[in-house]
Amino acid sequence: MIRKFLITLCLCISGAGVAQAGAITIAALGDSLTQGYGLPPEDGFVPQLQSWLDDQGRDVTLINAGVSGDTTAGGLSRVAWTLTPEVDALIVALGGNDLLRGIAPETARANLDGILSAAEAQGVPVLLVGVAAPTNYGPDYKQAFDAIYPDLAQKHDALLFPAFLDPLLAAAPDRATAIRDFIQGDGIHPNAQGFAVIVAAIGPTVLDLIERAE
Protein backbone atom coordinates (compact mmCIF):
# COMPACT_ATOMS: atom_id res chain seq x y z
CA MET A 1 0.00 0.00 0.00
CA ILE A 2 2.83 2.38 0.84
CA ARG A 3 4.50 1.56 -2.48
CA LYS A 4 1.28 2.29 -4.39
CA PHE A 5 0.84 5.56 -2.48
CA LEU A 6 4.38 6.70 -3.34
CA ILE A 7 3.91 5.85 -7.01
CA THR A 8 0.63 7.78 -7.10
CA LEU A 9 2.26 10.74 -5.36
CA CYS A 10 5.13 10.78 -7.85
CA LEU A 11 2.71 10.69 -10.76
CA CYS A 12 0.72 13.60 -9.31
CA ILE A 13 3.86 15.68 -8.80
CA SER A 14 5.06 14.84 -12.31
CA GLY A 15 1.69 15.80 -13.79
CA ALA A 16 1.69 19.10 -11.94
CA GLY A 17 5.16 19.86 -13.25
CA VAL A 18 4.09 19.24 -16.83
CA ALA A 19 1.06 21.50 -16.46
CA GLN A 20 3.19 24.26 -14.96
CA ALA A 21 5.76 23.95 -17.73
CA GLY A 22 3.05 24.41 -20.36
CA ALA A 23 1.73 27.66 -18.86
CA ILE A 24 3.03 30.96 -20.23
CA THR A 25 3.17 34.18 -18.22
CA ILE A 26 3.19 37.49 -20.10
CA ALA A 27 3.76 40.86 -18.46
CA ALA A 28 2.23 43.91 -20.17
CA LEU A 29 4.50 46.87 -19.42
CA GLY A 30 2.71 50.08 -20.29
CA ASP A 31 0.87 53.22 -19.26
CA SER A 32 -2.80 54.08 -18.74
CA LEU A 33 -3.79 52.34 -21.99
CA THR A 34 -2.45 49.09 -20.57
CA GLN A 35 -3.64 49.79 -17.03
CA GLY A 36 -7.26 50.29 -18.15
CA TYR A 37 -7.77 53.88 -17.04
CA GLY A 38 -11.37 54.96 -16.46
CA LEU A 39 -12.92 51.51 -16.79
CA PRO A 40 -14.08 48.71 -14.51
CA PRO A 41 -11.23 46.21 -14.10
CA GLU A 42 -12.83 43.60 -16.34
CA ASP A 43 -13.19 46.02 -19.28
CA GLY A 44 -9.55 47.10 -19.60
CA PHE A 45 -6.99 45.98 -22.17
CA VAL A 46 -5.33 43.24 -20.13
CA PRO A 47 -8.51 41.52 -18.85
CA GLN A 48 -10.08 41.60 -22.31
CA LEU A 49 -6.90 40.20 -23.85
CA GLN A 50 -6.84 37.49 -21.17
CA SER A 51 -10.42 36.53 -22.07
CA TRP A 52 -9.55 36.49 -25.76
CA LEU A 53 -6.61 34.17 -25.15
CA ASP A 54 -8.76 31.95 -22.93
CA ASP A 55 -11.25 31.67 -25.79
CA GLN A 56 -8.37 30.57 -28.02
CA GLY A 57 -7.65 27.75 -25.58
CA ARG A 58 -4.23 29.12 -24.64
CA ASP A 59 -2.78 28.43 -21.20
CA VAL A 60 -1.58 31.97 -20.57
CA THR A 61 -1.53 34.29 -17.58
CA LEU A 62 -1.28 38.03 -18.21
CA ILE A 63 0.21 40.41 -15.66
CA ASN A 64 -1.00 43.99 -15.81
CA ALA A 65 2.16 46.09 -15.43
CA GLY A 66 0.51 49.28 -16.68
CA VAL A 67 0.94 52.50 -14.70
CA SER A 68 -1.12 55.55 -15.60
CA GLY A 69 1.01 58.51 -16.60
CA ASP A 70 4.12 56.42 -17.15
CA THR A 71 6.66 57.44 -19.78
CA THR A 72 9.31 55.32 -21.45
CA ALA A 73 11.67 56.47 -18.67
CA GLY A 74 9.27 55.12 -16.07
CA GLY A 75 9.05 51.83 -17.93
CA LEU A 76 12.83 51.58 -18.03
CA SER A 77 13.06 52.26 -14.30
CA ARG A 78 10.79 49.32 -13.44
CA VAL A 79 11.54 46.79 -16.16
CA ALA A 80 14.04 44.96 -13.96
CA TRP A 81 11.45 44.09 -11.31
CA THR A 82 8.79 43.47 -13.95
CA LEU A 83 10.94 40.74 -15.49
CA THR A 84 10.58 38.34 -12.58
CA PRO A 85 11.65 34.70 -13.09
CA GLU A 86 8.12 33.55 -13.92
CA VAL A 87 7.71 36.03 -16.79
CA ASP A 88 8.13 34.25 -20.13
CA ALA A 89 7.29 37.13 -22.50
CA LEU A 90 6.82 40.89 -22.41
CA ILE A 91 4.43 43.30 -24.13
CA VAL A 92 5.85 46.83 -24.19
CA ALA A 93 3.31 49.59 -24.88
CA LEU A 94 4.89 52.91 -23.95
CA GLY A 95 5.44 56.29 -25.58
CA GLY A 96 2.08 58.01 -25.47
CA ASN A 97 2.97 60.13 -22.45
CA ASP A 98 6.33 60.99 -24.00
CA LEU A 99 4.36 62.48 -26.89
CA LEU A 100 2.04 64.40 -24.57
CA ARG A 101 5.08 65.93 -22.86
CA GLY A 102 7.00 66.58 -26.07
CA ILE A 103 9.93 64.44 -24.93
CA ALA A 104 12.69 64.27 -27.50
CA PRO A 105 12.45 61.22 -29.79
CA GLU A 106 16.07 60.29 -29.10
CA THR A 107 15.30 60.13 -25.36
CA ALA A 108 12.27 57.90 -25.87
CA ARG A 109 14.31 55.72 -28.23
CA ALA A 110 17.09 55.26 -25.69
CA ASN A 111 14.60 54.31 -22.95
CA LEU A 112 12.79 51.77 -25.11
CA ASP A 113 16.12 50.40 -26.29
CA GLY A 114 17.04 49.87 -22.63
CA ILE A 115 13.78 48.02 -21.96
CA LEU A 116 14.21 45.72 -24.94
CA SER A 117 17.86 45.14 -24.04
CA ALA A 118 16.86 44.08 -20.52
CA ALA A 119 14.36 41.59 -21.90
CA GLU A 120 16.85 40.33 -24.47
CA ALA A 121 19.47 39.78 -21.76
CA GLN A 122 17.04 37.45 -19.98
CA GLY A 123 15.96 35.65 -23.13
CA VAL A 124 12.42 37.04 -22.88
CA PRO A 125 10.68 37.63 -26.24
CA VAL A 126 9.00 41.01 -26.70
CA LEU A 127 6.00 42.40 -28.51
CA LEU A 128 6.62 46.12 -29.03
CA VAL A 129 3.45 48.19 -29.47
CA GLY A 130 4.00 51.44 -31.32
CA VAL A 131 2.50 54.89 -30.87
CA ALA A 132 1.82 57.21 -33.80
CA ALA A 133 3.08 60.74 -33.19
CA PRO A 134 0.77 63.67 -33.95
CA THR A 135 1.73 66.35 -36.45
CA ASN A 136 1.64 69.31 -34.07
CA TYR A 137 5.34 68.96 -33.22
CA GLY A 138 6.27 69.21 -36.88
CA PRO A 139 7.14 66.64 -39.56
CA ASP A 140 10.71 66.07 -38.36
CA TYR A 141 9.58 65.16 -34.85
CA LYS A 142 6.86 62.85 -36.17
CA GLN A 143 9.23 61.11 -38.57
CA ALA A 144 11.84 60.60 -35.84
CA PHE A 145 9.35 59.33 -33.26
CA ASP A 146 7.42 57.04 -35.59
CA ALA A 147 10.69 55.42 -36.70
CA ILE A 148 11.58 54.36 -33.14
CA TYR A 149 9.34 51.30 -33.03
CA PRO A 150 10.16 49.53 -36.31
CA ASP A 151 13.86 50.33 -35.84
CA LEU A 152 14.02 48.83 -32.35
CA ALA A 153 11.86 45.85 -33.27
CA GLN A 154 14.33 45.03 -36.03
CA LYS A 155 17.35 45.63 -33.80
CA HIS A 156 16.11 43.34 -31.03
CA ASP A 157 14.21 40.85 -33.20
CA ALA A 158 10.99 41.82 -31.41
CA LEU A 159 7.48 41.44 -32.72
CA LEU A 160 5.87 44.73 -33.71
CA PHE A 161 2.31 45.99 -33.55
CA PRO A 162 2.56 49.34 -35.37
CA ALA A 163 0.25 51.53 -33.28
CA PHE A 164 -1.96 50.82 -30.27
CA LEU A 165 -4.96 52.90 -31.38
CA ASP A 166 -4.84 52.28 -35.14
CA PRO A 167 -7.44 49.47 -35.02
CA LEU A 168 -10.03 52.00 -33.83
CA LEU A 169 -9.51 54.13 -36.92
CA ALA A 170 -9.63 51.05 -39.15
CA ALA A 171 -12.94 49.96 -37.60
CA ALA A 172 -14.72 53.27 -38.23
CA PRO A 173 -15.55 55.21 -41.40
CA ASP A 174 -13.80 58.33 -40.08
CA ARG A 175 -11.91 59.70 -37.11
CA ALA A 176 -14.95 61.44 -35.61
CA THR A 177 -16.91 58.19 -35.57
CA ALA A 178 -13.99 56.31 -34.04
CA ILE A 179 -13.77 58.84 -31.21
CA ARG A 180 -17.53 58.77 -30.66
CA ASP A 181 -17.84 54.98 -30.61
CA PHE A 182 -14.56 53.78 -29.13
CA ILE A 183 -13.11 56.53 -26.91
CA GLN A 184 -14.07 57.66 -23.42
CA GLY A 185 -15.25 61.20 -22.71
CA ASP A 186 -11.69 62.39 -22.11
CA GLY A 187 -10.99 61.96 -25.82
CA ILE A 188 -7.88 59.87 -25.14
CA HIS A 189 -8.58 56.48 -23.59
CA PRO A 190 -10.55 53.67 -25.26
CA ASN A 191 -13.83 52.54 -23.78
CA ALA A 192 -14.72 48.86 -23.32
CA GLN A 193 -15.85 48.53 -26.93
CA GLY A 194 -12.69 50.21 -28.12
CA PHE A 195 -10.50 47.78 -26.22
CA ALA A 196 -12.48 44.88 -27.68
CA VAL A 197 -11.57 46.15 -31.15
CA ILE A 198 -7.90 46.57 -30.17
CA VAL A 199 -7.71 43.11 -28.61
CA ALA A 200 -9.20 41.47 -31.70
CA ALA A 201 -6.56 43.20 -33.82
CA ILE A 202 -3.52 42.57 -31.62
CA GLY A 203 -4.53 39.08 -30.48
CA PRO A 204 -2.95 37.18 -33.41
CA THR A 205 0.37 38.93 -32.78
CA VAL A 206 0.17 37.98 -29.11
CA LEU A 207 -0.29 34.37 -30.24
CA ASP A 208 2.96 34.76 -32.19
CA LEU A 209 4.59 36.04 -29.00
CA ILE A 210 3.35 32.98 -27.12
CA GLU A 211 4.86 30.71 -29.77
CA ARG A 212 8.20 32.44 -29.30
CA ALA A 213 7.96 32.02 -25.54
CA GLU A 214 7.13 28.34 -25.90
User: Which positions are annotated as active-site residues?
Assistant: 32, 186, 189
Following DSSP, what letter does each residue of the chain receive, concatenated?
-HHHHHHHHHHHHHHHHHHHHH-EEEEEEESHHHHTTTS-GGGSHHHHHHHHHHHTT--EEEEEEE-TT--HHHHHHHHHHHS-TT--EEEEE--HHHHHTT--HHHHHHHHHHHHHHHHHTT--EEEE-----STT-HHHHHHHHTHHHHHHHHHT-EEES-TTHHHHHTSSSHHHHHHHHB-TTSSSB-HHHHHHHHHHHHHHHHHHHHHH-
Q: Residue 160 forms beta bridges with which residues?
A: 128
